[in-house]
Amino acid sequence: MATAHSMQTQLFINGQYVDSKSGETWKVTNPATDELITDKVQTAGEADIDAAVDAATKAFKDPSWRGIKASDRGRMLLKFADLIEAKAGEIARLETLAMGAPLSVQTFVANTAAETFRYYAGWADKIAGEQYPDDDGTYKIVRYEPIGVCAGIGAWNASLVLFSWKVAPALAAGNTCVFKTSEKSPLGVLSLGTLINEAGFPPGVINLVTGDGKTGQLLAQHMKIQKISFTGSATTGRKVADAANKSNMKRCTLELGGKSPAIVFEDADMENALNYCSQGFLLLSGQVCAAASRTYVQRSIADKFIAQLKERFDAAGQGMGADTLAPTTMLGPMADKIQFDRVMSYIESGKKEASLVTGGNRIGEKGNFIAPTIFKDPSENAKIYKEEIFGPVGIVKTFENEEEAIRLANDTTYGLSATLYTQSVTRALRVSAALESGTVSVNSSHSPKVQTPFGGVKQSGVGRELGKQGLMNYLEIKTIHINMAVG
C-alpha cells in the first residue's frame, strides 16, 4: 500500500498499474501548507479511457465474473470492505494531503466507504425478479440484469465515499466499472488497486483513472459505457447529461449541488440546533453538498440564536490553520486555490449584498483557510443567497411563521437536503412533507445513511444513490412473456 512517500500515481487498468498513454501528468499541492505533494499523477487521455473501457467490457463477459455465483461477488465486496477498513488511516492520509480535509474526517470517510461495500455485498445474491400469472394465457417474468460497463465520476470532497456509492452497487448488480476521481483528490482512490486485486476481483472489473474535465467528458461520451453516475456541480452535471444523450443515450444518475435550508422553530432544542447549524454545517469547512447553508430562524428567538451562532463560528475558527494530519484537528482549508478564490469572491460580493455577522477573511498566510463566516439578511436575489458557495459561509434570515419558513426554504433552484429543528412531531411531519427536497432531516444536519436513498430534486440531481434504490439504478429490466398455449 502506498504511503505519503511512495504514493501510487499511475492508472489502474485491467488489474495492473500502468503509465498513462497520454503522457500528461498532474500536480497535487497540499492546500494546508502550499507544499507540492506530487507532480506525477498520470492523466488519462482518450487511449487510456479506451483501454479501461475495453478491459471492463471484456471482464463483464468473462466467466470469471459473469459466470460466478452472486454470493461469490458478495464475498469479494466483503473482503474489499475489510481491506479498505484495515488501511483507512493510510488512505485517509493521502486524501488529507491532497485536498486538506483533516485526517480525522478522512478516516471517517474511508470507513464509511468500507461500510457501503459491506452493505451492497449483502445485496449481491438477493436481486430477485418478479413473475405474474398466466391468467390471460401468457406467463410473465420480469428479470433484473446487469447493465454492462458503468462509469463513475466523483467530486473531490469525499472521494472514497463517492467511489463506494457508485462502484459498490454496480458490482453487486454484476456490472464492471471505470471510476474517475477528481483531479483535486486522486491519491486515495488510486491507492486502491492493490486492494482490488487482493479482494479477488478479476482484472478489468474495477478500473481507476484520473484527470480533469476532459477525462470526465471522454467517459460521458463513450459509446461502450452503458451507464454513468456523476457527482459534482450542476453546471458540469448538465454537460455530462448532454454528452450521455448525444452519444449512446447511456443511463445517467446525477448527484449535484445544493443550497439547502435549515429551519429553526422557536420550540426547538436550542443547544442541539446551534450545534448542528455550526459544527454540523462547518464539517469539511462547508464543502459538503448536503450542508444547510441557509438558516431560517423564527423571529422570536432570532437575536439570541444568531448571537450564539456567531460565538460558535468564532470558536470553530480558532481551530483553523492547525495541522490537518493531527488527530484532533476538525477543520481544514479549501481544497485548492481555485476553490479558495471562488469562495473569497462570494464573500466579497456578500459584503455588498448582506450584513456581515462574523468572518469574511482568510486565516493565516499559507494554505487556503477561510474563517467561518455568517451573513445576515441578504436580499432575496443576492448572489450569496441564490448560488451554492461550497465553503464555510452561512446565510441567516428570519421568519415569522411556518408558512413563511416553507416559502423561503423552497425558494431555490436546488433541493438536496433540508433540515428543520422543532420538538413538535406533528410540525416535523407537516413541514417535512411541504419541503421540496430529496431528503429532510429533523433535529440534525443531514448525514447520508447507507440504507436510505440519497439524492436531490429540482437542479440538485436526477436519480438516487444508496439503499435498494441505489442498487436498482445499476440493473436493466427485461420482460419475458411465455405463450402458454404452445409447447
The single-letter code of the amino acid at 263 is I
Query: Shortest CA distance to 178 belongs to which of 229, 130, 141, 109?
Result: 229
Nearer to ligand NAD, 128 or 223 (CB): 223
By CB under 6 A, tell whether 349 contacts ligand NAD: no
Distance, in Å, from the CA atom of 183 to the CA atom of 51, rounded to the nearest integer, reads 20
Count of residues in contact with ligand NAD, rule CB under 6 A: 29
The distance of closest approach from Cβ of residue 32 to ligand NAD in the complex, given in angstroms and rounded to an integer, is 18
Choose the binding region for ligand NAD from 9-17, 63-71, 252-260, 295-303 (rule: CB under 6 A): 252-260
Q: How far is CA 12 from CA 152, 196, 361, in A?
A: 14, 10, 41
Contact in structure between 190 and 13 (CB atoms under 8 Å): no
SS (H, E, C) 204-256: CCEEEEECCHHHHHHHHCCCCCCEEEEECCHHHHHHHHHHHHHCCCCEEEEEC
Q: Which residue is nearest to ligand NAD (CB)?
A: 216
Catalytic-labelled residue, pool 150, 252, 277, 289? 289
| Binding-site string for ligand NAD from residue 40 to residue 79, where x marks contact by CB under 6 A and - marks none | ----------------------------------------
Residues 203-222 touching ligand NAD, rule: CB under 6 A, are: 212-213, 216-217, 220
The distance of closest approach from Cβ of residue 448 to ligand NAD in the complex, given in angstroms and rounded to an integer, is 8
Nearer to ligand NAD, 314 or 387 (CB): 387
Examine the residue annotation and report whether 380 is marked as an active-site residue of this protein.
no
Q: What angle do CA 317, 446, 413 make, to 5 degrees?
A: 95
Choose the binding region for ligand NAD from 50-58, 122-130, 231-239, 299-307 (rule: CB under 6 A): 231-239
Angle of the 103-123 helix axis to the 159-172 helix axis, nearest 10: 10
Assign 153 to helix, strand or coil.
Answer: strand
Nearer to ligand NAD, 350 or 456 (CB): 456
Nearer to ligand NAD, 96 or 298 (CB): 96
By CB under 6 A, tell whether 387 contacts ligand NAD: no
By CB under 6 A, tell whether 386 contacts ligand NAD: no
Choose the binding region for ligand NAD from 92-100, 194-202, 234-242, 479-487 (rule: CB under 6 A): 234-242
Of 48, 95, 115, 388, the one binding ligand NAD by CB under 6 A: 388
By CB under 6 A, tell whether 15 contacts ligand NAD: no
Look at the block and give the residue holding cell 433540515. Answer: 419
The single-letter code of the amino acid at 171 is L
Report CA dihedral (144, 149, 154, 159) to the nearest 10 degrees. Answer: 80
Examine the residue annotation and report whether 35 is marked as an active-site residue of this protein.
no
Catalytic-labelled residue, pool 95, 115, 255, 388? 255
Phi/psi for 287 (5° steps) reads: -90, 60
Burial 343-361 (b: 16+ CB within 10 A, else e): bbebbeebeebbeebbbbe
Instruction: Give catalytic residues, as residue numbers.
Output: 255, 289
Tell me which residues touch ligand NAD (CB under 6 A): 153-157, 180, 182-183, 212-213, 216-217, 220, 231-233, 236, 239-240, 255-258, 289, 388, 390, 416, 456, 461
